[in-house]
Amino acid sequence: MSDQAQASVVQTRREGDVLVVSINNPPVNALGQAVRAGLLAAMEQAEADAAVRAVLIVGEGKAFIAGADIREFGKPAMPPSLPEVLNRMEASDKIVVAAIHGPALGGGLEVAMSAHYRLALPAAKLGLPEVNLGLLPGAGGTQRAPRLMGVAAAADLMLTGKHLSAKAALAAGLVDKLVDGKDATDATAAGLAYTNELLAAKTAPRRTRDIEIADKAAALAALDTLAADTAKKSRGLFSPLKIVECVRAAVELPFDQGIAKERALFVECLNSPQRAGLIHAFFAERETAKIPEAKAAAPRHFAKIAVIGGGTMGAGITVSALDAGLTVTMIERDAESIARGQANVEKVYNGLIAKGRMTEEAKAATMARYTPSTSYDDIRDVDLVIEAVFEDLEVKKAVFKELDRVCKAGAVLATNTSYLDIDAIAAATLRPQDVIGLHFFSPANIMKLLEIVVPAKVAPDVVTTAFELAKRMKKVPVRAGVCDGFIGNRILAVYKQAADYIMEDGASPYEIDEAVRGFGYPMGPFQVTDLAGGDIGWATRKRRAATRDPKARYVEVADRVCERGWFGQKTGRGFYLYPQGARVGQPDPEVLAIVDAERARKGVTPRQFTPDEIMRRYMAAMVNEGAKVVEEGIALRPLDVDVTFLSGYGFPRFRGGPMKWADMQGLDKVLADIREFAKEDALFWKPALLLEKLVAEGRDFESLNKAA
């Protein structure tokens, strides 16, 4: 990095006795090499200048400092290192003050903790979220936070990755003072006033490293419990236990040895595949909003919306919309249904009240923006409609005809269909340019994923409006094309089929679920079926029966289970038994007997599958269909497939998503597996052309993400 770049990202100026060091590295003042070098140079400048008696550190723009530059991870180290810069800062004989007005996260908070005094403005957010990236605070954070805020609170901050408000940070001892103000200019003014006060009082530097941790024996005992707890809770994650180890070092070792330990464990985390997976996930989630329509069209205005249908999805979508500050009119078929729809919405808020997370007044204020109705005439002036009625093309077409009749020109008309042809739904109106898919996931007020399904005739500003809605609702949007099941459910259908084949060939549903959990999913596919209700998939299979390729292998086990009325948790049994409404199922010998009977009927001699063999097939099916979805343009990029599975299907985040997983395995290995499985069933295991092409060219999915 040139001196010029360094100078422009870290600027210094004298204000009386104080050297003001301001970091100006948009968008979030990440601590890239130039910033680190600039900070080091600023400290050298301060030390060399006898007229400087104090240093004030501030961030320009919205953030104080959002942390290390995540883009540098995985690349060769570029000196100076952040720990080196911060040790130098802390060691300074001139007092160093940090004034925090926005995010001070990760390395950003580590900068602040290495300063001698800290003040915060109301919008400050302080945290050590490295754990979310598979890391631990690696610039002294694990050693300084326990000294400043106590062992338990520091461990909690690092293990949860949560952000503290300015007030909470003051209470926790992370900052010394709260002041009013809102931006970088206010922070500089307040910081200068505070620094001058400290100088006037002849205050000496106060180094965090010198703080003694109180009651070490009790702290160590608490850490034993925390380690056991963390091992249980962190489900295969690597960095949480390393964080606990670092905190233990903070208690047991002198500061410099603690720092050395932290460095060693930080490097282990940095080199772990989980770091690569989690950082891929971080960037991928921010990339999905970058769509071709974004440049072409600004979103349409929306404030009032309508939701058609008050069932499971309609109610969840209504809650999401109300929580986003929108006004919602819900339409149902009749008085009884609308009463049920309203009750479904209120149930969510009553649950929050029962848990002490909402007040009656807040519920009343929210429900004041909700209007129940059975008449389409009440939605003449809404800006956007989301239809969530039964999954039946004819019913949906009838609803859209009605919407076409009553809605004002320019209203966005969206459907929450899971599988149906949105081009056909759009064609039921005279305004297909306004029709789009908004595929929410259940429960819609909780699940983050929103597939935005773009039919052929939709106008670009309808697409950007959908992305704007996602943002307002704090959802993770993914742009998808029209096909049966869009991105997520289409791929799900294929790997679910692979799971069925593995089951019929020899593994029990329980072994498959266990292997999938062992990979990092919270649940296996048969548990998911039981949770969602087996009848839903059964209906889909019946719908598809007529168009199913007669040569394709079809496993009847799930149908046999459904024929007995065993739809999963809601009926007390499915693939598992749920005695007395239990939420965790028990294996059912009768289901195993059904599987055996089906094998016998088909003449299948069962064979053994190790968890690894199960996962190789399960993942190969997922990746192969993912590649087809990208090849056909249903997903814009492989990363869109990754985000769909991370946010909507419980795919383990530390693996980055199925396509990232495939890259990390090596696409040639995945393709070789598919070709081997194809020897048993060439129709199902037909390699995606895109996968073959990438392997032939020695490329990976990431190369497509970059090219897009």
Find the binding residues for ligand 3HC in span 135-194 (CB under 6 A).
135, 137-139, 141
Residue pair 147/121 in contact (Cβ under 8 Å)? The answer is no
Rounded distance, CA 19 to CA 89, Å?
13
Spell out the residues 6+ positions from residue 542 whose beta carbon is closer than 8 angstroms to its own. none
**Residue 395 near which of ligand 3HC, ligand NAI, none (CB within 5-8 Å, type-dependent):** ligand NAI
Which position has the token pair 């089906």?
A: 598
Spell out the residues 6+ positions from residue 559 whose beta carbon is closer than 8 angstroms to its own. 538, 541
- Total residues binding ligand 3HC (CB under 6 A): 26
**Residue 137 near which of ligand NAI, ligand 3HC, none (CB within 5-8 Å, type-dependent):** ligand 3HC
Nearest to 386 by CA among 424, 412, 405, 425: 412
Amino acid at 224: D
Q: x-or-dash pattern for ligand NAI, window 387-426, by CB under 6 A?
A: -xxxx---x---x----------------xxx--------
Output 60 or 332, the one with its CB closest to ligand NAI: 332
Instruction: Provide the CB-side half-sphere exposure for 579 (13 A, CA).
Output: 3
Residue pair 483/634 in contact (Cβ under 8 Å)? The answer is yes
Strands 449-454 and 435-440: antiparallel
**Residue 416 near which of ligand 3HC, ligand NAI, none (CB within 5-8 Å, type-dependent):** ligand NAI
Q: Considering the rule CB under 6 A, would residue 262 count as an interface residue with ligand 3HC?
A: no
Q: Considering the rule CB under 6 A, would residue 240 count as an interface residue with ligand NAI?
A: no
**Residue 106 near which of ligand NAI, ligand 3HC, none (CB within 5-8 Å, type-dependent):** ligand 3HC
- Total residues binding ligand NAI (CB under 6 A): 23
Rounded distance, CA 269 to CA 531, Å?
35
- CB closest to ligand 3HC, residue no: 106
Task: Note if 130 is an active site residue.
Answer: yes
Alpha carbon 279 to its chain's center: 11
Residue 127 is encoded by which pair of tokens? Answer: 């945290």
Catalytic residue among 60, 90, 110, 451: 110
Q: Considering the rule CB under 6 A, would residue 530 count as an interface residue with ligand NAI?
A: no
Rounded distance, CA 621 to CA 683, Å?
12
**Residue 79 near which of ligand 3HC, ligand NAI, none (CB within 5-8 Å, type-dependent):** none
Amino acid at 486: F
Min CB(413)–ligand NAI separation in Å: 14
Would you call 603 helix, strand, or coil by DSSP?
coil
Q: Considering the rule CB under 6 A, would residue 630 count as an interface residue with ligand 3HC?
A: no
Q: Considering the rule CB under 6 A, would residue 106 count as an interface residue with ligand 3HC?
A: yes
Q: Considering the rule CB under 6 A, would residue 314 count as an interface residue with ligand NAI?
A: yes
Output 417 or 644, the one with its CB closest to ligand NAI: 417
Q: x-or-dash pattern for ligand NAI, window 210-239, by CB under 6 A?
A: ------------------------------
Output 67 or 314, the one with its CB closest to ligand 3HC: 67
Residue 265 is encoded by which pair of tokens? Answer: 């464990």
Phi, psi of 467 (to 5 degrees): -65, -35
Q: Considering the rule CB under 6 A, would residue 540 count as an interface residue with ligand NAI?
A: no
Rounded distance, CA 428 to CA 399, Å?
9
Output 351 or 666, the one with its CB closest to ligand NAI: 351
Task: Note if 90 is an active site residue.
Answer: no
Min CB(293)–ligand NAI separation in Å: 23
Rounded distance, CA 103 to CA 101, Å?
7
Catalytic residue among 130, 332, 451, 511: 130
Nearest to 638 by CA among 648, 649, 627: 627
Spell out the residues 6+ positions from residue 108 whose beta carbon is closer than 8 angstroms to its own. 29, 31, 59, 63, 64, 65, 66, 67
The helix/strand count (H/E) of the chain reads as 31, 19
Q: Considering the rule CB under 6 A, would residue 311 count as an interface residue with ligand NAI?
A: yes
Residue 624 is encoded by which pair of tokens? Answer: 């192969």
Q: Considering the rule CB under 6 A, would residue 130 count as an interface residue with ligand 3HC?
A: yes
- For 113-158, the DSSP string reads HHSSEEEE-TT-EEE-GGGGGT---TTTHHHHHHHHH-HHHHHHHH
Instruction: Provide the CB-side half-sphere exposure for 234 (13 A, CA).
Output: 24
Rounded distance, CA 118 to CA 415, Å?
50
Residue 283 is encoded by which pair of tokens? Answer: 């960037």
Output 331 or 463, the one with its CB closest to ligand NAI: 331
Choosing from 14, 71, 167, 706, the residue that interacts with ligand 3HC (CB under 6 A) is 71
Q: Considering the rule CB under 6 A, would residue 343 count as an interface residue with ligand NAI?
A: no
**Residue 67 near which of ligand NAI, ligand 3HC, none (CB within 5-8 Å, type-dependent):** ligand 3HC
**Residue 308 near which of ligand NAI, ligand 3HC, none (CB within 5-8 Å, type-dependent):** ligand NAI
In angstroms, the first-to-last Cα distance of the chain is 27
Amino acid at 371: T
**Residue 82 near which of ligand NAI, ligand 3HC, none (CB within 5-8 Å, type-dependent):** ligand 3HC
Residue pair 102/122 in contact (Cβ under 8 Å)? The answer is no
Find the binding residues for ligand 3HC in span 4-63 (CB under 6 A).
27-28, 30, 63
**Residue 103 near which of ligand NAI, ligand 3HC, none (CB within 5-8 Å, type-dependent):** ligand 3HC
Q: Considering the rule CB under 6 A, would residue 574 count as an interface residue with ligand 3HC?
A: no
Find the binding residues for ligand 3HC in span 285-344 (CB under 6 A).
286
Find the binding residues for ligand NAI in span 157-186 (CB under 6 A).
none
> In the 8-state DSSP scheme, what is residue 432?
G
Q: Considering the rule CB under 6 A, would residue 603 count as an interface residue with ligand 3HC?
A: no
Q: Considering the rule CB under 6 A, would residue 337 count as an interface residue with ligand NAI?
A: yes
Spell out the residues 6+ positions from residue 247 whose beta carbon is closer than 8 angstroms to its own. 142, 146, 151, 154, 155, 158, 223
Residues that bind ligand NAI (CB under 6 A): 308-314, 331-333, 337, 388-391, 395, 399, 416-418, 440-442
What is the set of active-site residues? 110, 130
Residues that bind ligand 3HC (CB under 6 A): 27-28, 30, 63, 66-71, 82, 103, 105-107, 110, 129-130, 133, 135, 137-139, 141, 283, 286
